[in-house]
Amino acid sequence: MNLVQIIKMIYLKNKVKGFIFTKQTIIYLCSYNNNRKFFMLNIIIFGAPGSGKGTQSEKLTEKYNLTHISTGEVLRDKIERQTELGKLANKYMSKGQLVPDNLVIDMLHEFITSNTESKGYVLDGFPRTLPQGEAMDKILEEQNESINVVLWLDVDDDELIGRLVNRGKDSGRDDDTLETIKSRLAVYYRETEPLKEFYSKQGKLAQIDGMGTVDEIFARIEKVVDNLSY
Ligand code: B4P
């Protein structure tokens, strides 16, 4: 473990407000910081299916130079390539159900451990259950990192259904049919919404009005992200 990792560990574990450094430490940190940011910016983008997670994640990734993972996209890629995991995932996704926790947690673990040089992550569609949220905290802790903010895109159900039905017309996604959309929404309220309380208790939940144009919503997101201290 190098000096930077030790300082980050002390900061995260003790929630200290600041440090007093010796001159040598400052010189070391400055040289380290030339190559990489001291703290990563890790963002979870959270919301019901169709809330704009994928759409806003792309903008966030570009503006803040972050690394994006969409568990839905990784799974769809595995389905297309007909891998063993893809075949298994398809059984759940085509019915609008969640893929079992252990499979997506392993996927996320692999992603984080192979992208440790990133300036930060945009986690889109993960976590979707409480066990995934707990696993996420542990995976990041192993890297002396943590989530900075959870952006909850708040959108009315009628708008969600309208967007997904619309997308279904040309996406070719077999989970974008009205029946499956309704089942995905029910799964969201039952299994994913409890994460709001989980992150609210950690003081990390930021509610974003997800109604309006893509740019209007992104402007609300920028306001929150630009005011983060990390
Ligand atoms: P995802 O790929 O995450 O699918 P989603 O929730 O429907 O997508 P998203 O919310 O990103 O759509 P977006 O708003 O961008 O997951 C698919 C499936 O994979 C899940 O149902 C599950 O089975 C499985 N899965 C994924 N992660 C998992 C996990 N962690 N655990 C277990 N299972 C998992 O886009 C919606 C549409 O709205 C687009 O057409 C977009 O253009 C449009 N849109 C966006 N913003 C708009 C706006 N402001 N106005 C109008 N239209 C807008």
Average pLDDT over residues 210-224: 98
Tokens standing for residue 192: 């994913």
User: 118 C-alpha vs ligand 1 centroid, how far in Å?
Assistant: 24
- The structure's pTM equals 0.86
Q: Which helix (H) or strand (E) holds 44?
A: strand 43-47
Rounded Cα distance between 212 and 228, Å, is: 24
Inform me whether the pLDDT recorded for 11 exceeds 80.
no
pLDDT higher than 80, residue 4: no
Helices (H), 100-213: 101-113, 130-142, 157-171, 178-187, 194-201
Does residue 230 have a pLDDT over 90? Answer: no
Q: Residue 107 is which amino acid?
A: M
Atom number in ligand 1 closest to CA 73: 2
pLDDT at 32 over 70: no
Q: Is the pLDDT of residue 2 over 70?
A: no
pLDDT at 39: 72
pLDDT score of 89 more than 90: yes
Predicted local distance difference test score (pLDDT) of residue 106: 95
Q: Which of 56, 57, 99 has most ligand 1 atoms within 8 Å of CB, for mutation? A: 99
Residue 96 pLDDT exceeds 60: yes
Question: Which residues sit opposite 115 in a β-bridge?
Answer: none
Query: Is residue 37 pLDDT above 60, yes or no?
Result: no
Is pLDDT at 36 greater than 90 in this prediction?
no
Asked if pLDDT for residue 33 goes beyond 60, the answer is no
Rounded to the nearest angstrom, the distance between the alpha carbon of 40 and the centre of ligand 1 is 25
- Which sign does the torsion angle of CA 103, 61, 214, 193 carry? positive
Residues with CB under 6 A from ligand 1: 49-55, 70-72, 75, 92-93, 96, 98-99, 104, 125-126, 128, 132, 163-164, 167, 175, 184, 213-214, 217
pLDDT, average across residues 18-24? 74
100-137 residue pLDDT tens: 999 999 999 999 999 988 999 999 999 999 999 999 99
pLDDT bracket for residue 208 (50, 70, 90): very high
Q: Is a pLDDT exceeding 60 seen at residue 141? A: yes
What is the pLDDT averaged over residues 42-63? Answer: 97
Task: Report the candidate in 12, 125, 132, 117 with the shortest Cα–Cα distance to residue 67.
Answer: 117
β-partners of residue 89 are none
Mean pLDDT of 10-26: 72
pLDDT, residue 174, reads 82
Q: What percent of the chain has pLDDT over 70?
A: 90
Residue of 47 and 171 predicted with greater confidence: 47
Instruction: Tell me what pLDDT residue 27 has.
Output: 66
* Sign of the C-alpha dihedral computed for residues 208, 210, 216 and 217 taken in this order: positive
Q: Which of 88, 102, 163 best tests ligand 1's pocket when mutated (most atoms within 8 Å of CB)?
A: 163
Question: Atom 39 in ligand 1: which residue has the minimum CA distance?
Answer: 167
Give the model's pLDDT for residue 144: 84
